Chain A
Amino acid sequence: DSGVTQTPKHLITATGQRVTLRCSPRSGDLSVYWYQQSLDQGLQFLIQYYNGEERAKGNILERFSAQQFPDLHSELNLSSLELGDSALYFCASSVGGSGDGYTFGSGTRLTVV
């Protein structure tokens, strides 16, 4: 157990729908990162939050959004889902905002049908 908790583990939904993925960081970590892993693309950085504030943005679609709450857990919202959004979504956390000591969660597998 890495200490980073992601729920749900699996999610199946239809095109056009909206889902929310949740991440609880490791105790003491202030930064949360979201990554998408598809079969052909590998791990792609989506967005980073540090202590409640957005710190960096990667290739995140406009249909996707995220936030980090005062208790430091984070949610990734995916809307108007398309078949191509099917992927593994990983959350990672670190103590500081500059990436050292990264720890990944076990991921949420999203299947859009």
Chain B
Amino acid sequence: EDQVTQSPEALRLQEGESSSLNCSYTVSGLRGLFWYRQDPGKGPEFLFTLYSAGEEKEKERLKATLTKKESFLHITAPKPEDSATYLCAVLTIGGSQGNLIFGKGTKLSVKP
């Protein structure tokens, strides 16, 4: 069964304290891996899509990387406005459907 696991469940950082969030996946075939940011009561906001092992993408203080078994979201010198839940999701090969399989997310809190 296709599965996505995120760790840690929650992470508290001081402003400026860099860290990484982990997303490990077990799928029959990976078409793409997605990272989203979600603020309380809001819809997920797209951050990155990664398609193949070794791929990296960056946006401001965020950098996403992908291996054959997991993805990392690195946060460099975070600010309080980076506080949110970060969701990882996979799109699998096979069939004609396009539904994403989500992990349960990592809730990030950045204190000033």
Contacts and interface: CB of A to CB of B under 8 A. Distances in A.
Contacts of B89: 43
Interface residues of A, number: 28
A99 B96 contact: no
Q: How big is the B interface, by class? A: 20 to 34
A56 B95 contact: yes
Interface stretch (B14-22, B42-50, B59-67, B68-76): B42-50
A97 B96 contact: yes
Contacts of A55: 96-98
A98 B44 contact: no
Interface of B: 31-32, 34, 36, 41-46, 49, 87, 89, 91, 95-105
A100 B36 CA distance: 14
Contact of B102 (A31, A43, A105, A106): A43
Contacts of B49: 100
Given A43-B102, A99-B31, A90 B43 contact: yes
Contacts of B31: 98-99
B2 to A, nearest CB: 11
Given A33-B99, A56-B96, 9 more contacts: A43-B87, A43-B100, A55-B96, A55-B97, A58-B99, A88-B41, A97-B97, A104-B45, A106-B43
Contact of B98 (A41, A88, A98, A106): A98
A56 B94 CA distance: 12
B46 A100 contact: no
Interface string A91-113: 00010111110111111010000
Interface in A43-91: 43-45, 48, 55-56, 58, 88, 90
